[in-house]
Structure 1
């Protein structure tokens, strides 16, 4: 299976809340790092638990999945009721049809305002 398809299957399985299928996309010793919060999630069981125990009221829109040579990059939008919309950029390593490691940057979409000094160069808006 192509590495990009493994990542797409991961996100589809998370979205459908098929936790056994999520587990099948992850190596037993997967390691995922979230730099924004400095959390490291080690092991398939912990990664499945982090996803399955998250409060409901969310959905997942896969915006892009790119084959970047030795990594797969995914851009995902996660709207969550009563919270807002998250954007997630993930860098995945895939081997033998499973995700072996990842680095995910979760941020609130539009969660920060641009700096005053840049206003003469930029506008606020949305792009597909």
Structure 2
């Protein structure tokens, strides 16, 4: 399986809440960093559990997946019924069909204030 297919399957299985299927795509010793919150998730079981225990009310829309060799980048939108819409840019390493490491940048849309000095150069999205 191509590395990009592995990452697409990861998001498909997360959307389906197929936690065993998510785990099957991860190396046992996978490491995933969340730099925005300053956290590191070490190991397949921890990554699966942190996602499985996220409060319900969410869905997933994959916006894009781009791959180069073993490196795969995905951009995903995660709307939640009560917590707003989040966006994640994820950088994955996939070897032999398994995700071995990742770095995910999660943010809530519109969470960062736009400084007044940029107003003349930008438009709100």
Q: What TM-score, normalized to structure 1?
A: 0.95
- Residues 1:69 and 1:115: Cα distance change in structure 2 (over 3 Å): farther
Note if 1:24 corresponds to 2:24.
yes
- Matches of 1:15 and 1:74, distance apart in 2: 15
Q: Report Cα offsets for 1:63-100 as digits up to 9, x if no partner.
A: 00001344100000000111100000000000010100
Unaligned regions of 5+ residues in structure 1, if any?
Answer: none
* Whole-angstrom CA distance in 2 between matches of 1:14 and 1:119: 38
Equivalent positions of 1:54-69 (< 5 A) are 54-69=54-69
How far apart, in 1, do the equivalents of 2:93 and 2:74 lie? Answer: 11
Task: Give the Cα–Cα distance (whole angstroms) in 1 for the partners of residues 100 and 55 of structure 2.
Answer: 25
SS of equivalent residue, structure 1 residue 110: coil
Show the counterpart of 2:33: 33
Q: Which residue matches 2:92?
A: 92
Aligned counterpart, 1:110:
110
Is there any run of 5+ residues in structure 2 with no aligned partner, and where? none
Aligned: 1:8 with 2:11: no
Supply the distance in 2 between the matched residues of 1:9 and 1:70 (Cα, whole angstroms). 15
CA distance in 2, matches of 1:102, 1:95: 12
Matched with 2:83 is 83
**CA RMSD after TM alignment:** 0.8
The number of residue pairs the alignment matches comes to: 125
Give every structure 1 segment of 4 or more consecutive aligned residues whose post-TM-superposition deviation is greater than 2 Å. none
Shift of 1:43: 0.4
Q: Deviations over 1:19-60 (max 9, x none)?
A: 110001100000000001111000000001011111110000
